[in-house]
Amino acid sequence: MKKINYIKNNCLIETVILVIIGIILLNTLFIYPIIGRYNNGDFDRLMVYGGLNEMGRNYHEIYDGFMHAKYLVTDPGVFLPFYWDWVSEAVLVKFAVVLFLIVNGFRSNIFDIRYLSFFYCAAFLLGIFLVLRYNRLSKVTKLFAGVFIILFFTSTCYIAYFNSFYGEAGTIIFFFLTIGTYLRLITMSKPRIRDFVYFFIASGGFLTAKSQNLPLFIFMLIIYGSLYVCYSELRYGKEILIGSVFVFVFCFISYFSLTNTIKENNLFQSVFCGVLQQSKTPEKDLTELGLNKKLVIFNGHSFYNKDKGLDPLGKDMMKEFYPKISNWKILGFYLSHPGRMWEKIEDSANNAYAFNKPGNWNFEKNQKDSKKLVNNFRIELIDKFQAFHHNVYVFIVFSIMYFGVSLFYLITSKKRDIKLLNLMIIFILVAGASQFVLPIIGAGHCDFGKHLFLLNLCYDTMFGISLLWCMHIIPRVLYAAKFKIRKRKILNG
């Protein structure tokens, strides 16, 4: 009874919101027919950390274009602390496999993907709870934030990743956990050491969820540095430095665990499916990159395609291409050709929000049920306003306004928590806006829509933040206007 009264008096809105989200997650991800994502060749990097393998016996059974729910536990990979292509989700995969083995008494080796989804959902709900507990939210704005999260972030375009081995699932949950633990930390007058630990674990998990997120460590350092400045007087400086080093070490491990094949693939795609994509002067571009122009024969060629005698990992390429190219050279090329850079930014805007309603590929084979109730609100909104979601100028204008307001509060506010809040708000902008360029530099147009996932996640979050700010500021503006009118009337008799 005491717990019920506590919930009723202290966190009723949060509880109602979480229950609704929990029901949506349960129905979408756990009750058959379940929705997820199919393996396009990326699953192996994460599956190895659980000692998992596909149940299919050949290529066509494994890559059949359908979501798979069952996997074989075949080796003790679950005991590997680190290996090639390490990402933060590897820890959750290990937890999921261990839980599966314990629940089944170590008698079954048929792993169910929903065990992993359970951990993703638990972390997702925790992150949302922490966000909604932010003490500067009124009951009205808290309720609005909860409704916004339900409509946007429980849409199948986001949560379907939980039933998969894609890094996007980790990006989602650690993104919300980072924001939630940060909000909890900055609103405490006397935070505990464990509150800093929670934030550093969450932010480290976000940065290492995908190799694509690693460059954001540079911008996250600004937040770490600001925490150090703000809290060193409370004798937390040492803990913040240790936490920063901790995150750096794991980012270092994640980056240098990338296999040569991954690095070579990304470099190949960033040049031949990026720089040379729609280029009118491909041979000249190669020369400016310091490469032999004869390599133009690979223009538009896939890294995994060896047709016509073109082997992306052949002797000539290993000698003439990979040793002479880097992401820094590619960035330098775009900086020296601002027109080409702008073209790529427009391409990113045109490929943003490449979300689709669930199709056969989101279900297990022969399991699709068109009558299954799921949340497609975000997808339907995109379909209805295609031009709005793919207009680069909309992104630019919104980003400038968002940044201007955040910077204003950052500079003018005298309250520590407001300054720190707006630093995180700006970090979300940086994380999202950087995706207009980073995917192009890192992998060209290869799997472009998927590589823009963080852009979608960040701008949806920024849109929600902007709406909350409007709800907060409009009543104040109206009240101030009414006050001025009354004052004039009094002065005028």
Instruction: Give pLDDT, residue 493.
Output: 57
Instruction: Give pLDDT, residue 440.
Output: 92
Tell me the C-alpha distance between 80 and 90, whole Å.
Answer: 10
Instruction: Give pLDDT, residue 472.
Output: 84
- Tell which residue, 165, 168, 159, has the closest CA to residue 97: 165
Tell me the C-alpha distance between 200 and 246, whole Å.
Answer: 8
Tell me the C-alpha distance between 55 and 371, whole Å.
Answer: 28
Q: Which two tokens stand for residue 464?
A: 């929600």
Q: How many residues does the structure list for the chain?
A: 493
Q: What is the pTM of this model?
A: 0.95
Give the number of other CB atoms < 10 A from CB of residue 103.
Answer: 11
- Tell which residue, 200, 208, 195, 182, has the closest CA to residue 87: 208
Instruction: Give pLDDT, residue 487.
Output: 66
Question: What are the distances in angstroms from CA 248 to CA 170, 207, 216?
Answer: 18, 10, 11
Sheet of 70-73: strand order equals 52-54, 70-73, 110-112
Q: Which two tokens stand for residue 87?
A: 């990402």
Domains of the chain by residue range: 259-334
Place of tokens 């009543």: 475
Instruction: Give pLDDT, residue 88.
Output: 96
| Burial label, 164 (beta-carbon count in 10 A; 0-12, 13-18, 19+) | buried
* pLDDT digits (tens), the chain, 493 positions: 666 766 766 789 999 999 999 999 999 999 999 999 999 888 999 999 999 999 998 999 999 999 999 999 998 778 778 788 899 999 999 999 999 999 999 999 999 999 999 999 999 999 999 999 999 999 999 999 999 999 999 999 999 999 999 999 999 999 999 999 999 999 998 899 999 999 999 999 999 999 999 999 999 999 999 999 998 777 899 999 999 999 999 999 999 999 888 889 999 999 999 999 889 999 999 999 999 999 999 988 888 877 777 888 888 899 999 999 999 999 999 999 999 999 999 999 999 999 999 999 999 999 999 889 999 999 999 999 999 999 999 999 999 999 999 999 999 999 999 999 999 999 999 999 999 999 999 888 888 888 999 999 999 999 999 999 999 887 776 766 666 767 676 666 5
